[in-house]
Amino acid sequence: LQLEEKPLPLETKELNGILMTKMMSDNWDKIWNFQAKPDDLLIATYTKAGTTWTQEIVDMIHNDGDVQKCQRANTFDRHPFIEWTLPLPLNSGTCPAGPCGTVTCAGRFAPGRRVTETISKGNWKGIIYMARNAKDSLVSYYHFSRMNKMFPDPGPWEEYIEAFKAGKVLWGSWYDHVRGWWDAKDRHRILYLFYEDMKEDPKREIQKILKFLEKDISEEVLNKIIHHTSFDVMKQNPMANYTTIPTSMMDHSISPFMRKGA
Ligand code: A3P
């Protein structure tokens, strides 16, 4: 299946009342049965909560602050989305489609708390969850849906607000997601972070991640990570800002992926 043969936006299909792409729904069993290896780390987020930011921080930590190594590939190849099962050149490494090959998978695992529980009981080394407040998530998601031609058209802003509140957007309800992972966090090895905290004091929050990953680094490397993962630097980083994706799929002239970051 080539993208050219498939008009955008992607077909969607509900699963357990949650809107997903058809391919995600159809592949759900594979995702459900994904066997994490003990070294695998999961980064879980609701859409637009700072997934890419967390991925860059984790990659910099894993590579001891080596900026060049972190530019070896696009974010979505360095940390494939576990449930984004699209046979595109974009996600050659997507986990459910084959061996993951990286230590980290970024996954949303939309359908409800049962999934949260199942996933968090898996063999993961750990799960880093990043939450962002509903208002900024909503605004960011709206603009992202306008520029991301793979997603359903968000329609007028007022209608989109209602769709978001009702959870009738891809990956379902923001409320269920942040709440489901919050409830799971004390029962499993989950580091629950907030976008707003990361914004307020990246040093403090990155130190939490370091502790969670049982990793020791020098002050110099830590400062390098803070710098390299700042909004302004990431906005200019083609391996992190999604500008390598064809304009037919993501049109940054409508709204850049790295939009506001505030
Ligand atoms: P905005 O649209 O509000 O700017 P995700 O990676 O989950 O899709 O989230 C994307 C959101 O995170 C975007 O929000 C993007 O600008 C923001 N973001 C990405 N990297 C960031 C960084 N280093 N600092 C602050 N915000 C960042």
ipTM for the whole complex: 0.99
pLDDT at 112: 59
Asked whether the predicted pLDDT for residue 240 surpasses 70, the reply is yes
Averaged pLDDT score across all residues of the chain: 86
Q: What is the pLDDT of residues 47-103, one digit of tens each?
A: 999 999 999 999 999 999 999 999 998 998 888 787 775 544 444 444 443 444 445
pLDDT in tens, 161-220: 999 999 999 999 999 999 989 988 988 899 999 999 999 999 999 999 999 999 999 999
How far is it, in rounded angstroms, from Cα 99 to Cα 43? 17
Ligand 1 centroid distance, CA of 166 (Å): 23
C-alpha 160/C-alpha 213 separation (Å) is 38
Query: Worst-scoring range by mean pLDDT, 89-93, 109-113, 157-161?
Result: 89-93
Average pLDDT of the segment spanning 207-235: 97
Question: pLDDT tens digits, residue range 5-42?
Answer: 567 898 999 988 889 888 888 888 877 777 777 788 88
Half-sphere exposure of 256 (CA within 13 A, CB side): 14
Are 9 and 18 in contact, with CB atoms under 8 Å apart?
no
Ligand 1 neighbours by CB, cut-off 6 Å: 45, 48-53, 136, 140, 143, 229-231, 234, 258-261
Residues 139-152: tens digit of each pLDDT: 999 999 999 999 99
Q: What DSSP character marks residue 14?
A: E
Ligand 1 atom at shortest distance from the alpha carbon of 136: 3
Question: Which among 138, 120, 113, 257 is positioned nearest to 185, based on CA atoms?
Answer: 120
User: What is the amino acid identity at position 204?
Assistant: R
Taking the model in full, what pTM does it have? 0.92
Q: What is the mean pLDDT of residues 235-248?
A: 95
Q: Which residue's CA lies nearest to atom 9 of ligand 1?
A: 48
Long-range contacts of 83-90, Cβ-Cβ distance < 8 Å, separation of 24 or more: 83/20, 83/24, 83/27, 83/28, 83/31, 83/107, 83/108, 83/109, 83/110, 84/21, 84/24, 85/23, 85/24, 85/27, 85/30, 85/31, 86/10, 86/21, 86/23, 86/150, 87/1, 88/3, 90/245, 90/249
